């Protein structure tokens, strides 16, 4: 599948994370200066040059486990702390939101507009800090350069790759249920009405031609929906109206964001099957993660520091309850990387890499993936 | 025109891939096989015609002798040749061919995958059985591989590589009317919408190239010398294969078309798209005027589902089956 999917996945999920954290910081009445520091720290870390360099390299998508680890690290890039239950809920919301946006994009190219909506909002969060803003702008330019020339078919391949990543996730999100964009079974509503995508005509017209090319007949068939003509196309530049609303902040109005765990276990069973299947890429992924983590500096709050905890739930009791009652198949296994200094980091990671080898054997160091495959085929 | 029947449950949900449903009718055993791709696995179901017996098998993408593989499967389809039927899987690493029940792997062809991933994706997609002994498979580079298949055994060889397309192959189809009079045997489609029409043989011959308008053609069929093509814009176009004459253009769907199928005995056409709709059409040929007419017959809305596969279950189009992204069932419809 597409090797250019990871940057889009990361930036859009990151954008959703920032929307949610921003709302929670305000809902919990965190002092403005602290809230701003958190947002700035996270955005600075997200757009770290070395980190993005690794991210933008053509590569397969990370496993859910690896990606969750990256976001765990990102969420803790500042003085803010999140408990396990809150982090789980945050990740649920982020992923379901982006799944919704990918699914409902009228055409594959519109995923770029969704990404630009997130980028526009991120720029707005750091508009008062020119140093961070210029980092974000630089990335914006890179996104435009890489993705706008892609054909519709290539963008559809990216979309299909993202949909495989999100497959079988049906966590119910309160805000989606209220807005009637998600059903009580966790599936999203796909309307058969509204504007058709740019480049598509409203279904109905049938034209027949003679061998010489003249139009013989024009008929209409009943399309079974209630479609209208396409809206004008959104802007694919640094600035401009995006037209598509997907990817804009839906948490602007202060609404409690809850996820419902019950009733989703049946659907999630398959999701974990794919997750827990032996993943021969695990070692390679961890190498990449190690490089990424090198670029993500974690702040250790000192005793006098102004660290604080953010809760994604209404009360501490609710948070505790959520942790206990979370169904097993929905638990994200996170790679626990505590390292803060290079040496420590490498040692920890080396240990973890060793753990990922088959039955705990140390990872083979010499052969590359390509060599392994060739050796296997020679044996055919 | 059609009513919904009992669905068939599958072990894991269908992935959002073009033409993600293959059907094989085995009349002598009163069985129908279905195949649906989920990431690196093919879900196979064998359903008895009396509706009483279902058996499941999950085929995992194998690369050489490695039992499990994270390589994603792009498409799975049965290839029906006069002497045998093979199940072909196209993945990111190469092509695998199995006996029709998925029990034994008969042949494996590895793609030249680069050491480190390149910006351009590498995969195989597009499967067609042509005439007596060819199986053709498309590649992301635009090449089409032609395999020579003996009537039995595993001595399958790569006979030719056809290099006409510059963009990734999306789908391929062989002439399905059964008529030996048709000159064109195979049509291949790619991401730019380009359609190439071929005549099979020791050396495949390019008969025609029908340009796309830079819009991906995701599904294609060839029937009685007419190409039926479904596009990302939701349009369906009918072309005369050998001449490239456009017979008809239909604004058929509100979203990307994912699957087309033709019932060769009756000329019924099935189209399905991300817009949740399956539509049934009828094609009529008028040999005197060389015209092809298309008539719309029926709509079926599969609520809240982005359809990724739709196939007739028999040559008359009496029944059809549908798969959708994230759905763990094959939905069936029968006339009446």
User: β-pairing, B319-324 with B307-312?
Assistant: antiparallel
User: What's the pLDDT band for A373 if we cut at 50, 70, 90?
Assistant: very low
A vs B: CB pairs below 8 A: 200
> Looking at residues B89-111, what average pLDDT do you find?
93
* Site from B9, B10, B15, B16 to mutate, A interface, most A CB atoms within 10 angstroms: B16
Average pLDDT on B245-249 reads 95
Task: Name the closest residue on chain B to residue A272, using Cα atoms.
Answer: B12
**What's the rounded mean pLDDT across residues B217-226?**
96
Per-residue confidence (pLDDT) for residue A50, from 0 to 100: 87
pLDDT confidence of B64, banded at 50, 70, 90? low
A354: enclosing H helix or E strand: helix A342-356
Residues 6+ apart with CB under 8 A from A304: none
- pLDDT, tens digit (0-9, with 9 covering 90-100), for A216-265: 999 999 999 999 999 999 999 999 999 999 999 988 656 655 555 443 43
Average pLDDT over residues A52-64: 87
Q: How close, in Å, is residue A207 to chain B by CA atoms?
A: 5
Residue B90, phi then psi, degrees to nearest 5: -115, 130
What is the distance between the alpha carbons of residues B322 and B331, in angstroms, rounded to a whole number?
5
Residue B35 has pLDDT above 50, yes or no: yes
Gap from B112 CA to chain A (nearest CA, Å):
10
Q: Report the alpha-carbon distance of residue A22 to residue A39 in Å, rounded.
A: 7
pLDDT in tens, B139-193: 999 999 999 999 988 999 999 999 999 999 999 999 999 888 889 999 999 999 9
SS3 content of chain A, % helix, strand, coil (to 5): 50, 10, 40
Average per-residue pLDDT in chain A? Answer: 79
CA B220/CA B187 separation, integer angstroms = 8
Q: Is B38 on the interface with A (CB under 8 A)?
A: yes
Q: What's the pLDDT tens digit per position in B255-274?
A: 999 999 999 999 999 999 99
Structure token pair of residue B51? 């509706």
Q: What is the pLDDT, as a whole number, of residue A63?
A: 83
**Alpha-carbon dihedral angle through residues B79, B80, B81, B84, given to the nearest 10 degrees:** 90
Q: With an 8 Å Cβ cutoff, are A368 and B115 in contact?
A: yes
pLDDT digits (tens, 9 = 90+) for A168-223: 999 998 889 999 999 999 999 999 999 999 999 999 999 999 888 899 999 999 99
Q: Is the pLDDT of residue A98 over 90?
A: yes
pTM for this predicted structure: 0.88
How far is the C-alpha of B55 from the C-alpha of B216, rounded, in Å? Answer: 36
Name the average pLDDT for chain B: 93
A160/B290 CB distance under 8 A: no
pLDDT-derived band at A80, boundaries 50, 70, 90:
confident
Name which of A164, A206, A225 is nearest B294 (Cβ-Cβ). A206
Q: Could you tell me which chain B residue has the CA closest to the CA of A161?
A: B16
The residues in A 85-124 lying below 8 A from B, measured between CB atoms, are 103, 106-108
CA A227, CA A15: separation in Å to the nearest integer? 31
pLDDT of residue A296: 52
Q: Find the CB nearest B64 among A154, A209, A376.
A: A376
Residue A142 has pLDDT above 50, yes or no: yes
With CA atoms as reference, report the closest residue to B160 among B137, B182, B176, B140: B137
Distance CA A15, CA A187 (A): 23
Task: Kindly tell me if the per-residue pLDDT of A334 is higher than 80.
Answer: no
What's the whole-number mean pLDDT along residues A352-379? 34
pLDDT above 90: residue B253: yes
d(CA A2, nearest CA chain B) in Å: 5
Q: Indicate whether this complex's ipTM tops 0.90.
A: yes
């Amino acid at each position: 599948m597409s090797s250019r999917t990871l940057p889009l996945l990361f930036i859009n999920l990151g954008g959703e994370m920032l929307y949610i954290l921003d709302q929670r910081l305000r809902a919990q009445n965190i002092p403005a200066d602290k809230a701003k520091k958190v947002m700035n720290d996270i955005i600075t870390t997200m757009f770290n040059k070395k980190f993005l360099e690794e991210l933008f390299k053509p590569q397969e998508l990370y496993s859910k486990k690896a990606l969750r680890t990256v976001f765990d690290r990102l969420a803790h890039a500042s003085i803010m702390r999140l408990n396990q239950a809150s982090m789980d809920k945050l990740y649920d919301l982020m992923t379901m939101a982006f799944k919704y946006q990918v699914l409902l994009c009228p055409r594959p190219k519109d995923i770029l507009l969704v990404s630009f909506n997130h980028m526009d909002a991120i720029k707005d969060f750091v508009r008062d800090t020119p140093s961070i803003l210029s980092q974000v702008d630089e990335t914006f330019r890179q996104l435009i350069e890489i993705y706008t020339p892609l054909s519709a078919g290539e963008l559809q391949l990216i979309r299909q790759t993202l949909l495989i990543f999100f497959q079988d996730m049906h966590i119910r999100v309160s805000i989606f249920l209220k807005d009637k964009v998600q059903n009580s079974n966790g599936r999203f509503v796909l309307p058969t009405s509204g504007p058709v995508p740019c480049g598509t005509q409203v279904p109905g017209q049938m034209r027949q031609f003679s061998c010489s090319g003249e139009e013989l007949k024009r008929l209409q068939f009943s399309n079974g929906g209630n479609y209208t003509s396409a809206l004008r196309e959104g802007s694919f530049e640094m600035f401009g109206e995006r037209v598509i609303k997907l990817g804009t902040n839906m948490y602007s109005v202060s609404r409690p964001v809850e996820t419902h765990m019950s009733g989703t276990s049946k659907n999630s069973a398959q999701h974990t099957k794919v997750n827990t299947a032996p993943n021969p890429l695990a070692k390679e992924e961890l190498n990449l993660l190690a490089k990424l983590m090198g670029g993500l500096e974690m702040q250790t709050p000192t005793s006098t520091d102004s660290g604080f905890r953010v809760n994604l739930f209404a009360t501490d009791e609710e948070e505790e309850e959520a942790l206990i009652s979370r169904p097993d198949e929905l638990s994200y296994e996170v790679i626990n990387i505590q390292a803060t200094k290079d040496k420590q980091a490498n040692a920890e990671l080396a240990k973890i890499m060793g753990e990922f080898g088959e039955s705990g054997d140390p990872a083979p160091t010499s052969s590359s993936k390509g060599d392994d495959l060739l050796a296997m085929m020679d044996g055919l | 025109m059609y009513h919904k029947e009992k669905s068939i449950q599958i072990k894991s949900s269908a992935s959002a891939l073009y033409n993600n449903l293959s059907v094989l009718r085995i009349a002598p055993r009163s069985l129908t096989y279905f195949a649906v791709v989920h990431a690196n696995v093919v879900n196979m179901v064998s359903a008895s015609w009396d509706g009483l017996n279902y058996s499941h098998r999950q085929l995992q993408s194998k690369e050489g002798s490695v039992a499990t593989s994270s390589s994603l499967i792009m498409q799975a389809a049965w290839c029906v040749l006069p002497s045998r039927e093979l199940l072909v899987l196209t993945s990111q690493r190469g092509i695998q061919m199995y006996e029709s029940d998925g029990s034994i792997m008969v042949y494996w062809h590895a793609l030249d995958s680069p050491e480190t991933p390149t910006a351009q994706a590498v995969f195989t997609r597009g499967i067609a059985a042509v005439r007596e002994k060819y199986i053709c498979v498309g590649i992301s580079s635009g090449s089409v591989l032609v395999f020579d298949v003996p009537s039995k055994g595993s001595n399958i060889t790569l006979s030719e590589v056809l290099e006409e397309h510059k963009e990734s192959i999306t789908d391929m189809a062989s002439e399905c009317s059964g008529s030996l009079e048709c000159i064109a045997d195979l049509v291949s489609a790619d991401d730019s919408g380009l359609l190439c029409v071929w005549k099979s043989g020791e050396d495949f011959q390019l008969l025609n190239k029908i340009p796309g308008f830079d819009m991906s053609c995701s599904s294609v069929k060839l029937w009685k010398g007419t190409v039926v093509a479904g596009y990302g814009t939701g349009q369906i176009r009918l072309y005369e294969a050998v001449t490239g004459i456009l017979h008809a253009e239909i604004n058929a769907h509100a979203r990307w078309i994912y699957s087309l199928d033709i019932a060769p005995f009756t000329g019924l056409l099935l189209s399905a798209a991300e817009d949740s709709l399956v539509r049934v059409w009828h094609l009529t040929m008028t040999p005197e005027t060389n015209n092809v007419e298309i008539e719309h017959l029926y709509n079926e809305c599969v609520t809240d589902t982005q359809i990724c596969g739709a196939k007739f279950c028999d040559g008359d189009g009496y029944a059809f089956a549908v798969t959708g992204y994230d759905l763990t069932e094959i939905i069936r419809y029968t006339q009446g």
